Structure 1
Amino acid sequence: MTTSNIKRFDELTGQILGVLYESFPVPRVLLLKDLISDGISFDERVGFDVPNENGEFLFACIDWLTESGYLRFQSKIQATGYSECVLTAKGLEVLKATPDSLSTESSLGEQLIDASKTGAKSLIGDLAGQALSIGVKFATNHLGLPG
């Protein structure tokens, strides 16, 4: 069974946000090889490792999170990752939230860290989906739009 792009996106997003929440406020390098095990392939034409389809998907997730204001980075590291990555104020605010629907007092960021350590991909994806929903609510409330 194949995983949908949205599910893959949520799982990777949860992993990325959890890593950055755990190191906040210290910027860190996000390397493709540290986030997914099957994201690099050796390209004989150029003579070195390059991102494959999975790696490109991870990069697209990081780029989207950056463009949407959840994180920032200093530069892309030649086909291997990103340097000086850190949550933005928006990203931190979302991850510090404790949704009413959860029966715990832990923030989303703390729950993402715990889920990442246990390898619970489905839970990571669910938590990331909740975080992004909260981000949308924060944005609509800030703009005075009906949420």
Structure 2
Amino acid sequence: MLDISVPPRQGVGNKKTRSVAGIWLRAIVDTPKDTRPDRTMEKTNIERFDEVAAQILSALYETFPRPTHIDPKVIGVLDETPTRDDTGGVIYSEEWKELTTFANHTAKWLAEEGYLSERSGRSYSMYTLSAVGLKSLKHVDQPELGADTLGEKIKKASSDGARATTSKLVDQFFAIGAPLLAKAIGVG
């Protein structure tokens, strides 16, 4: 523990007050400033987007053509099941709420850009791959290197946690899909 005394000229007039001030300062010095995990390894928003988009695309590719509700458990980013309180209300963790919001924003953007089809319901939306999304995921980049589709590669990379590979595959998905979307709207 650090022994800190506060001299009278700094506005603390008597010895008892200086002693209390010293205890208070020791508490500040001994208390960690930031108890949160190290933020140097935290993902950027784009890295999170790539990861969540890959998980959404993978889940929808696997369940195609069935409309699917997007939540952290369905897309495989959180293995948690919300609980119920005494009145039957659903209790969600803060992480669940945050991931659900991010996943739904991601799915909504993918739908607005034409990669997914959204079916709005009363309380939540269901999603399927659009024709462009399905065609992009069924793409086989280099048949001579194997018959894995882009969808299968994304599923494998996202389940393995290969962040850099997942990001490159999501970029490839958009690169394949963009000309298809342009052609669909008569631009290309």
TM-score w.r.t. length of structure 1 = 0.73
What is the alpha-carbon distance in structure 1 between the residues aligned to residue 170 and residue 164 of structure 2?
A: 10
TM-score w.r.t. length of structure 2 = 0.59
Aligned-residue CA RMSD (Å): 3.3
Given the alignment of the two structures, is residue 111 of structure 1 paired with residue 175 of structure 2, yes or no?
no
Q: How many pairs align?
A: 139
Q: Which residue number in structure 1 is paired with residue 78 of structure 2?
A: 37
SS at match of 2:74: helix
Given the alignment of the two structures, is residue 28 of structure 1 paired with residue 68 of structure 2, yes or no?
yes
Q: Percent identity?
A: 32
SS at match of 1:32: coil
Q: Which residue number in structure 2 is paired with residue 64 of structure 1?
A: 109
Given the alignment of the two structures, is residue 6 of structure 1 paired with residue 49 of structure 2, yes or no?
no
Q: Following TM superposition, where does structure 1 have runs of at least 4 consecutive aligned residues deviating by more than 6 angstroms?
A: 38-42
Q: Which residue number in structure 1 is paired with residue 9 of structure 2?
A: none
Q: Deviations over 1:64-97 (max 9, x none)?
A: 011111112323574xx643x2111111111111
> Which amino acid in the other structure matches residue 23 of structure 1?
T
Q: Which residue number in structure 1 is paired with residue 28 of structure 2?
A: none
> Which amino acid in the other structure matches residue 7 of structure 1?
E
Larger Rg: 2
Aligned residues of 2:110 and 2:116 also touching (Cα < 8 A): yes
Show structure 2 runs of 5+ residues with no match: 1-40, 84-88
- Greater strand content: 1
Aligned residues of 2:70 and 2:103 also touching (Cα < 8 A): no
Q: Which has the higher contact order (CA 8 A, sep 6+)?
A: 1
Show structure 1 runs of 5+ residues with no match: none
1:17 to 51, 57, 62: 57
Aligned residues of 1:69 and 1:90 also touching (Cα < 8 A): yes
Q: Which residue number in structure 2 is paired with residue 98 of structure 1?
A: 140
Alignment CA distance shift 1:93-1:82 (3 Å): same
